[in-house]
Structure 1
Amino acid sequence: MGLFTFLALLLHIILLLAKTSYLCCMLSFSTSVTTLLRHRLADRQQAGLLRQLRTSDSLVDFCSNDYLGFARSTALKEAIQQADLTSVHDRTGATGSRLLAGHTVLADALEAELASFYHTEAALVFNSGYDANVGLLSCLPQRGDTLLTDELIHASMIDGARLSYATRHRFSHNDMNDLENKLRQATGQVFVAVESVYSMDGDQAPLHELVDLCDRYGAALIVDEAHATGVYGRNGEGLVVAFGLQERVFARVHTFGKGLGVHGAAVVGPAVLRDYLINFARSFVYTTALPPHSLLAIRCAHQHMQNESTAQQEVHKRVRYFKQKADERLPGTTWTDSASPIQCLIVPGNDNARQVAAKAQQGGFDVRAILSPTVPVGQERLRVCIHAFNTEEEIDRLLHIIQ
């Protein structure tokens, strides 16, 4: 064997051994990662906190955020289909971000309509409420600013706040004394972030007191109207407009996947805020835009809401009936202080809350337990969502099972 052939063979063997060693390392690494993930899931399952996807189509809905029943509305579905059929748009996808190929005349027109509907200067559509909150809170407060958030704000607002370089402090839920103490100590431009209707308790923020405090200390108020959109206001514009406070709130987030039954969200406020978000909100800049079909659905849902005022009246009527019957049939129980469609029965302990929810589901009702750590230990609960389409007889049967 010649020297050249010997060296070539030796190199081949070395490369083969290196490849085998690399494959073994990768296999070992992959195995260790999957084992780690299985252990973490097993720990969660043992703690009774494992989340799983499941359908509940056969159960009576006391769980979803479809407060007005728009997601199941035949009239709205037909309006969206008709708008889609007659649309001049010749593409089904957005094809890119709004700053690239995804911006359309339809998007511009829709945002102008939303600004008018929500009684403000401008609106900017985001792909979801989560995207809107993350984008808004991560880019608006800057280093040296102060961001004050209610301790019960939604996870999307928490995540946005965590991405901000501003100094962040939480204040006790709906506690204006605690908020004022923190406002006194705040530095830089101050932002205060709250929800108008809180998703886990169903109670309302004291908006009048909040705007007074923010005005006094020069703070900009941000209000997430996710669970108020469609439910409050003459035409479903939310609590801020219902109270006539839109001129005193710097920014609002309206989501369309709850009361309006479609998808997407918008941040509404002054025109300069819209321009700022287009430049700095990463969840807007770096994501593919909503397709034309979704934009048309948002438009149709707002038109439907103005033409279908009875749904809002019905949901509030059902809430009053539920609260009255719950007081009569479940004396001594503890409920959150809510006049909204979100009614929560406190059932301390994850196992106890799960058992009550399971009984309701066995009786044919889709009711879910909210467990710690989503809520504080001892505040585990049965979260009951009331809808315009729920009947008094269904409410009676559900309360009988809980009783």
Structure 2
Amino acid sequence: MLKKFQEALDKRKEVGILRMLKPKLNGIDFYSNDYLGLAGNEELQAQLLLKVQENPTLLSGSSGSRLISGNSNIVDETEKYIAEQHQYPAALLFSSGYNANLALFSTLPDRHDTIIVDEQIHRSVQDACRMSHAKKLKFRHNDPEDLESILKKQTGPCYVAIESLYSMDGDLAPLQEIAALAKKYNAALIVDEAHAFGVFGYGLIEKYDLHHDVFAAVITYGKALGAHGAAILCDETVKSYLVNFASPFIYTTAAQDFLWMAIQTGYEFLKQKPELSEKLNQNISIFRNQNIDTPSSELSPIQAVLIPDNQKLKNLQKTLSDHDFLTYAVYSPTVKTGTERLRICLHSFNTEEDIVELTRIIKEFI
């Protein structure tokens, strides 16, 4: 067994794609998902600290799953608050976006159903589909015509799964077109808003007023909100069904009440600080004005720079690191061979000077 595992690791090391855990680095952040800087916002931290001082039991362990001893008034109140904010009948909280997607797609579709996913859907959805007994099909990335050609051929219940903002290419889904197709063919549309929440207000579902056309949505809080956890937005019936049948929910110990309190506090903080998203949008524009070739949306905080040469990509990342710029190089198999890229994440706290210098160095390599 160990020999087999070591051979697989050695093979990855040989081609330069061995993943390793490293200490958190000091430098200029162009690689984290902390788009609005809330993970280190001192004002938000002070608000959270005050709440803990007023109620230290927030830090206590939940002691069990929510169906046993882990439920509380705070998590119930937070779910009601989230549902109201997003104009959905109900919300169900999870400890991570991965678990939320695992619960949705391993539980709702059964062996008589079909799940049609965008070919670039997040790995959590891919893994969940393997746990489901449903048939899974893929449609070409952000291609409504290809999706419709697949929907036309289906005879049973269908689910359509997309992200509103994709994390590898940094491009936006044609959400309105896909929602219209799902409605036309009576398919249940599920949208992962992980990277859109906070960047585009409460996400693109809200932006386009599609609450009644999206069967369920996943909102995660470890990115723009600077916290942790996730919520599924859905109908009360779907929430009850997940509580009864979703293994990732039933068999997971609930998080501390501090997490749920931090999420609700984060929502309130976002309302108080609209200037954070405004500054992020300004920085995205500054980056785009440097004329770097990218497949990413001009509105996205994620800007991908394709460099299908592993050695060149490694050299670029090292040069940037030598200048204190923290970036993330993405190799296959995370992305398709030939589409390796430098993934740049922009934030409200990045300076114009740093963005310009970052792009100057990148231009020397492409």
Compared CA separation, residues 210 and 287, structure 1 to 2 (3 A)? same
1:320 to 285, 309, 316: 285
Quick one: which amino acid aligns to residue 385 of structure 1? C
Larger radius of gyration between Structure 1 and Structure 2: 1
Question: Is the Cα contact below 8 Å between 1:254 and 1:266 reproduced in 2?
Answer: yes
1:86 to 47, 54, 63: 54
1:100-115 matches, within 5 Å, as 100-115=68-83
Distance 2:286 2:298 in 1: 13
Identity over aligned pairs, percent: 40
> Secondary structure of 2:152's partner?
helix
Quick one: which amino acid aligns to residue 288 of structure 2? K
> Secondary structure of 1:379's partner?
coil
- Aligned twin of 1:196: 164
- Aligned twin of 1:273: 238
Distance 1:303 1:57 in 2: 30
Quick one: which amino acid aligns to residue 3 of structure 2? T
- Aligned twin of 1:264: 229
Q: CA deviation at 1:54?
A: 1.5
Q: CA deviation at 1:349?
A: 2.3
Question: Is the Cα contact below 8 Å between 1:146 and 1:190 reproduced in 2?
Answer: yes
In the alignment of these two chains, the number of paired residues is: 363
Distance 1:357 1:317 in 2: 25
Distance 1:192 1:58 in 2: 41
Question: Is the Cα contact below 8 Å between 1:135 and 1:160 reproduced in 2?
Answer: yes
Quick one: which amino acid aligns to residue 322 of structure 1? F
Compared CA separation, residues 88 and 108, structure 1 to 2 (3 A)? farther
Say if 2:303 is the partner of 1:343: yes
1:379 to 303, 327, 339: 339
Larger helix share, 1 or 2: 1
Quick one: which amino acid aligns to residue 264 of structure 2? R
> Secondary structure of 1:348's partner?
coil
- Aligned twin of 1:229: 197
Say if 2:67 is the partner of 1:99: yes
Per-residue displacement from partner, 1:35-93 (whole Å, max 9, x unpaired)? 33322211110011100112343210000000000001001111111112223747610
> Secondary structure of 2:343's partner?
strand
Distance 1:116 1:124 in 2: 12
- Aligned twin of 1:284: 249
Q: CA deviation at 1:355?
A: 1.7
Distance 1:354 1:114 in 2: 42
- Aligned twin of 1:360: 320
Distance 1:337 1:125 in 2: 30
1:155 to 89, 101, 123: 123
Distance 1:247 1:91 in 2: 37
Q: CA deviation at 1:368?
A: 1.2
Distance 1:312 1:119 in 2: 21
Question: Is the Cα contact below 8 Å between 2:66 and 2:254 reproduced in 1?
Answer: yes
TM-score (norm 2): 0.96
2:220 to 243, 247, 255: 255
Distance 2:3 2:130 in 1: 30
Unaligned 5+ segments in structure 1 are: 1-32
Q: CA deviation at 1:399?
A: 1.1
Between 1 and 2, higher relative CO (CA 8 Å, sep ≥ 6) is seen in: 2
- Aligned twin of 2:210: 245
Question: Is the Cα contact below 8 Å between 2:288 and 2:298 reproduced in 1?
Answer: no
Q: CA deviation at 1:315?
A: 0.5
Quick one: which amino acid aligns to residue 29 of structure 2? D
Distance 1:398 1:218 in 2: 47
Question: Is the Cα contact below 8 Å between 2:160 and 2:188 reproduced in 1?
Answer: yes
2:146 to 153, 161, 178: 178
Unaligned 5+ segments in structure 2 are: none
Per-residue displacement from partner, 1:188-239 (whole Å, max 9, x unpaired)? 211000000001011111111011101110001000000001110xxx2111
> Secondary structure of 1:169's partner?
strand
Distance 1:97 1:337 in 2: 40
Question: Is the Cα contact below 8 Å between 1:195 and 1:224 reproduced in 2?
Answer: yes
Per-residue displacement from partner, 1:374-403 (whole Å, max 9, x unpaired)? 111111111000000000001011112112
TM-score (norm 1): 0.88
Q: CA deviation at 1:351?
A: 2.2
Question: Is the Cα contact below 8 Å between 1:146 and 1:187 reproduced in 2?
Answer: no
- Aligned twin of 1:42: 10
Question: Is the Cα contact below 8 Å between 1:67 and 1:231 reproduced in 2?
Answer: yes
Question: Is the Cα contact below 8 Å between 1:353 and 1:371 reproduced in 2?
Answer: no
Question: Is the Cα contact below 8 Å between 2:36 and 2:225 reproduced in 1?
Answer: yes
Distance 1:193 1:90 in 2: 35
